[in-house]
Chain A
Amino acid sequence: MMTREEMWFGLCSCQGIYRTDIERILKAVEDISNLYGKNKSRVISELAQGSKRTNGQGVITIEQAQELRKRTEQDEISRLMELNEKRGIRFLSMDAADYPKRLLVLKDAPYGIYVKGAVPSDGPTCGMVGARGCSAYGRSMSEKFAAYLAKGQVQIISGMALGIDAVCSRSALAAGGKTFVVLGGGVDVIYPKENTDLYYEILMKGGGVLSEYPPGTPSLAWQFPHRNRLIAALSDLLLVMEARKQSGTLTTVGYALDMGKDVYALPGRVTDPLSESCNLLIREGAGMLSSPEEVLSLLTGRSDEISKEGKSSRESQKAEFSDPKAESLYAALDWDARSLEEIAQKAQMKAEETASLITYLVLDGWAKEVSPGYYVKT
């Protein structure tokens, strides 16, 4: 006799049958076990051709019915489950004990999810999302917030996209924390390719990769907004680090607000297109991100645990230099990338002196080269 978990697995492993299709199927067959009963063949045919329960209308196409027939065979289910086990992929149905409780809040929670690695624990989670083509400012702020939160045992949830998403996950890992990413394709489809190293690092360091799509599903553009609802649902709090006007990030924000979750946005200058959506969100009532300590206390209630260990992040920004020239050079830096020439002009220093001292700042971690000859504060 087949277990209910296996039944869910069979239904959710169909290629080309999505959540809404499954919803209609379940409505038509009343209980999932009917799909696997003695008269399974007739039930599935009726799904495609229509029955009294469906007012004579088919709820799935003939192709979908064929796929369903194939995937609900005991042999096929065993084969796929074995294959997934080999690849380290787990399937968790809505009924499973491990299924992340946070997802159940969703009206359209996935009937089952695939997981490689772990699922987020009940501890605090924080979603961090933003633009793919981020600025140096967005990047360094994301690094700072993600690292601080990760050190405070907050699990960072993100989408592994280029730019902000990847920066947040990487910084969390570098700080010794855990990060979980939700993909827009199968959990074994690494997208984007550029983050292959990140994908494996997440798994190695106890994090996890989640998806509602069966393994092997390619990452298609329309799946990403749906993926975003899972990111929103898994996050106790959502931080928007940088977003242009009409950014895809805003769909994540929309889902989070629907679930009554708090959204914080990183403010930027009004002239920066990458801060346009963030500033707009703040005007519309989103929280304003000002310090990682604040976020941590919102999430955990323990505000200054980390601050006690060392200087708070705001204090540590006050750099101390033994060399007054290095200090004035540091003062000439900004969160925005500045060319060595601008830095030299601002600090009123000679070219060779600037070129030499900037290396001192970079080596000691006060500055970073983002493009040849362009530097930002860190």
Chain B
Amino acid sequence: MLDPFIVKLFPTLDPMLVIISAILFSPLVGFVIQFFMGEKLFRKGDWVSLGAIFISWVLTLFLFSDFVHSQNAHFKWVMSWPWIALPSFSLGMGILLDSTTILMLLVITTVSFLVHLYSTGYMQGDPRYSRFFAYLSFFSFSMIGLVLSDNLFALYVFWELVGLSSYLLIGFWFEKPSAANASKKAFIVTRVGDVGMFIGILIIFFQTNGLLKFEDIFSFLSKSSFNGEFLGLSLLTLAGLCIFMGAVGKSAQFPLHIWLPDAMEGPTPVSALIHAATMVAAGVYLVTRMFPFFTPEALTCIAYVGAFTAIFSATMALTHNDIKKVLAYSTVSQLGYMMMGLGVGATIAGFFHLVTHAAFKACLFLCSGSVIHALHTQDLREMGGLRKKMPITFVTMLIATLAISGVPLFSGFVSKDMILGGTLSFVSNHPNHFLIPIFGFSAAALTAFYMFRLIFMTFFGTARDSKKFEHAHESPFNMTLPLIILSLSSFAIVFTPLHFWIEQEEIPENIHHLATVLSLFVAGSGILLSYLMYMKKVLNPDTLAQRFKYIYNTLIHLYWIDELYEWAILNNVVRLNNLLAHFDNRVIDQVMVDGWAPVTIQTSRGSGNFDNRVIDELLVDGTGQMVGASGKQTVKIQTGKVQQYILVGLGSVCVLLILLTLIL
């Protein structure tokens, strides 16, 4: 649509390249300007970052509308350049634009733009206001780069850069020790996954003889396979699991999920953008992108990890009273859903859930931010009755909640339904994996329950903290506008243009119907139970907690996983490095190196003594003394009496003569 204009502006360049470069680099330019001179600009330069992401957003919308008009689900545009070229080795940088990328771009730029807009209200008055926007711009740049990359190495580069932005933004209020801790934890825990992913890249690089481009890897696999196995797994499965480890870290899947709840220490817009809609979805994106690479065994493993994470994390969301933490566990759980969908082979469903989830989860986070902004508390127990005070926030949050709970007419219903249908059709072929749909449907019930609990506790009932309630007010327009836009995109109807893309995936009719009925039932029962407990108070949550104290404690302590890691890993690492440091100090340095000093000193002392006593005193001085002593003795002969001399002389002559005669 834009092509004619761009051809006029840059006649020699491919118009697509110009558009993509603008989408990618405009946030980077925004970051550089903002980082170095944001403080000095009008409004501390928020408009620079906002404008930069706006450009990316508008251009992405053009790309998207072209994509929709083409009605071609298999659209693809590629271009690549050499980056590192050595003799018989090369690494490239390139762009791969296909339906997956376009949808990701749409999600990223839309949410990012809205979050930028929202932050102009939410972050107002913060001492590092301009720095906040600089980081947001940097994040947008890295995230866009991540989805545009056409090879694993480039993807890894951006993968780490989004990790860096996440680190910087979680620790944005670094004066708080908890925020500083959380940012460090997030970076290190995700890096555990990243190292696994890097090993996966190494295996692929080695086995394919240097191919890292997605297309090249797939075409290699269509002709040959990887050689070798390890622990009974084929190397291909293993490489797939290594790559998946990266996704486990980034998308906070069990057992590396522990960083995401802590990441809520970051400002709420950041939680919405990075830790709900985009970066944490990068793992899901990675699995989607690399999907043809995974062997059935690897996919089954992915499905189990996803399903388990979905249910496991949903249970943790049940009891928590921190509004952001509940949403964080919910995010982990929904990401597990997506992974489960991918694992059972419902790729479109899993990825589509990423798209719909981005909208309603970002909306939920921004709404919670609006509530926090108004009340200055994150504790659900201090909220209540806000329905009338904050009508826009209430309505938009309710819409998003309906979407996430899987109520018909809303987007979440469609995508969740597709995933659950996928699990059912998977089980119909592999009946012994029946746990996957069970986890899936139970997680859906729990999701509906805890989300409505959150809504009831926040907006209904009476104000529990009247002082805070008095001060509460609806947020300004620049904060509510993003809420409205995001809640509108939580309606299923918004996604109708994508039908041609969604319909690529076919689920047998009867299974699909079964899935729909079941998911409606579980969602309905979750909502009903929540209504009974938190609105009608038929069941008192506190007495339930008392009754099932052990379960409640386990949930509130998040299954003691953090404690377990601290005890099993952190303590032992500290012990190990102290031990090694001692070894270095005592054994290597003091014994092996400095130990030579006493040896040398003793040897030199010994040789010095030898030199002094034996050579000098005994041999050299001894000779002297001997000469002196013998001189002293012989001196006695020298009496000075001539008669004695003559006597001795004559005597000697006589002796000589006798000797001579005897010899001769």
**Are A and B a genuine interacting pair, yes or no?**
no
